[in-house]
Chains A and B, each alone.
Chain A
Amino acid sequence: MIDELLRPFDFQFFVNGLAVATLAGALCGLVGVYVVLKGMSYIGHGLSHAIFGGFAASTLLGVNFVLGAGAWGIASALMINGVTRRRVIGADAAIGVITTASFALGLALVALFGTTSQSFDAALFGSILGVSNGDVALVAAVATATGGLIFLRYRALLFTTFDPEVADASGVRTARIDALLMVALALSILATMQVLGVTLIAATLVIPPTVARMLTNSFARMLALSTAIGASCGFVGMNLSYHLDVQSGPTIVLVGASLFAIVFAATGARGRRRAGGVTARLGAVRAGG
């Protein structure tokens, strides 16, 4: 039994995939706290699709995937952030237009100039195959940078998330903080796309913080719990993915969803009341596709 459980660790691709999945889960759990509490779940969902457009374009043009999709993702994120802050048109509508257009462009490019290859399937649904040391280093670098940002700007991020108007009045540069958060979100999605897949990243951004919210009333503890839950879901999901021979993205998400159901039932009315604000947003993401 133990031998069977440890067997995948003999394969370097699995060890790499496991490292990426665990780091990616922690990273998405960490960033997801802000995404969920700011009511940005739909942005996370849309941005993951937008980055797919950049992924497709850079792959077909032979441009480095990280640079091409990264630039595309950051541009989309800042565009969404700008539209959301200006409130020129409805934020949800603007996000829908920008991100689905980007996703559609990716699909169209693949249809016109490419073939449906394993890399596109992996980008859509996640795969542990072909996770290189470079992928591990990328996720580790993004996780370190994001963790550093959150550590160093903890209070400004908290203030901007909780009470942006008063934060602005108190000297916090909320526009810059929001932009930094969006860049961190774009880079997190970019770095984790290979293992989780664009169609399922939103769930890893939303489920860990929602579960964490049901367990605590403290922001600091929610951050720590959400990160740990995300990492655990990545680790367990990746192992199950190997043993069940199911793609890594769906398995990781299903582990998270199961944990959500267990905590939801176990914490009773109190947990549901705590998570009241965020589960409504999770519903919106599901409805959004």
Chain B
Amino acid sequence: MTEDVDGELVRLAGVHCAYGAEPVLVDVDLSLSERQFVGVVGPSGSGKTTLLKAIMGTIEPYQGSVKRRRNLQTAYVPQVETVNWSFPITVAECVLMARPGRRVPWASRAERAEVSSVLERLGLDGLAGRHIRELSGGQQQRVFIARALLRGPELLLMDEPTSGVDVRLRHEVLHLLDDLNAAGLAIVLTTHDLNGIAAHLPRLVCLNRTVIGAGRPHDVLTPAVLEQTYGATMEVLEHGGMPVIVDGFHHRHHHDPGARDFSEAGARP
């Protein structure tokens, strides 16, 4: 549904989504505003990807409503793990997909200029003719961000942009997203990485089928919210003014002299 939503980009109210009989999202309320940078965290199967799909409109809620601002341009960056890397496609071909409506196969002069500009902006200049598999991990991620940016989105949705990547690449992606956000792009990303990603974002949503908590990391990353989200005990420390989440069991096991040693007792936690 598209309509004016009082300055917000998207508003979800009481959204329920399901795959068959299996509920995936239950009574989700969420609003996204311009220039926001939001991380969605939660365990596997908590509905993070489904939430992105509900925001995009590729899955319809069976109850509740998703209202989008009129003519809202969204773009989606899938998990790199889901990409078919053996598909015969060059960087330029991949990025140009963002304009699927053109009636002839080749790019117009204006499109070629736009592709060059976005590739240069993302540090991919000179790679337009390369096959996507021939790129480094960071470059591969940026190709799909470039494809999304060519749509001229106001809202960028990214599914696990840093899963399976090393620390350097994670920083690279985060810095890039931070720059894009500073330039006015609203971003919603899902992540499993509480310490490496989530704690660095200005706003977090803890999701486990429904929204457990939403707000600034300091307000949301609390033992109570995390336990409700993940179903496991977690402790929150502070390091350099940033919350650091520690698995409760391991924290007690390694640092608390009074903690019971399950392995010696022959029992499992």
Give the B-binding residues of A (Cβ under 8 A): 37, 151-152, 154-156, 158-159, 162-163, 165-172, 213, 216-222, 273-274, 276-278
Contacts and interface: CB of A to CB of B under 8 A. Distances in A.
Interface stretch (B82-90, B173-181, B231-239, B245-253): B82-90
B199 to A, nearest CB: 29
A166 B93 contact: no
B86 A274 contact: yes
Residue from B58, B86, B99, B103 having most chain A Cβ neighbours under 10 A: B86
Contacts of B269: none
Interface string B88-132: 111001101111111111000000000000000000000001010
Given A169-B58, A169-B76, A170-B98, A152 B90 contact: no
10 closest residue pairs by CB, A with B: A277-B86, A217-B131, A154-B105, A159-B97, A156-B100, A155-B100, A169-B56, A169-B76, A222-B88, A172-B100
Secondary structure dominating the interface of B: loop
Nearest to B157: A169
A249 B1 CA distance: 53
A162 B75 CA distance: 16
B100 A163 contact: no
Contacts of A170: 75-76, 97-98, 100, 151
A155 B105 contact: yes
Contacts of B100: 155-156, 159, 167, 170-172
B73 to A, nearest CB: 10
Given A155-B105, A156-B100, A170-B151, A276 B78 contact: no
B74 interface: yes
B78 A152 contact: no
Interface in B48-92: 53, 56-58, 74-76, 78, 83-84, 86-90
Given A155-B105, A158-B97, A166 B90 contact: no
A155 B97 contact: yes
Given A171-B100, A218-B88, 15 more contacts: A151-B104, A152-B103, A155-B99, A155-B101, A162-B94, A162-B97, A165-B58, A169-B58, A170-B76, A170-B151, A171-B101, A219-B87, A219-B90, A219-B93, A277-B86
A166 B88 contact: no
Interface of B: 53, 56-58, 74-76, 78, 83-84, 86-90, 93-94, 96-105, 129, 131, 134, 151
Nearest to B147: A166
Contacts of A159: 97, 100
A163 B75 contact: no
B89 A219 contact: yes
A161 B74 CA distance: 21
B88 A274 contact: yes
B88 A216 contact: yes
Nearest to B99: A155
Contacts of B57: 169
Contacts of A219: 87-90, 93
14 contacts: A37-B88, A151-B104, A158-B93, A159-B100, A162-B84, A167-B97, A217-B89, A217-B134, A218-B88, A218-B89, A218-B90, A273-B86, A277-B84, A277-B87
A155 B58 contact: no
Nearest to B76: A169
Contacts of B131: 217-218
Contacts of A216: 88
A35 B83 CA distance: 18
B74 A162 contact: no
A221 to B, nearest CB: 8
B161 to A, nearest CB: 14
A274 to B, nearest CB: 7
Contacts of A165: 58, 78
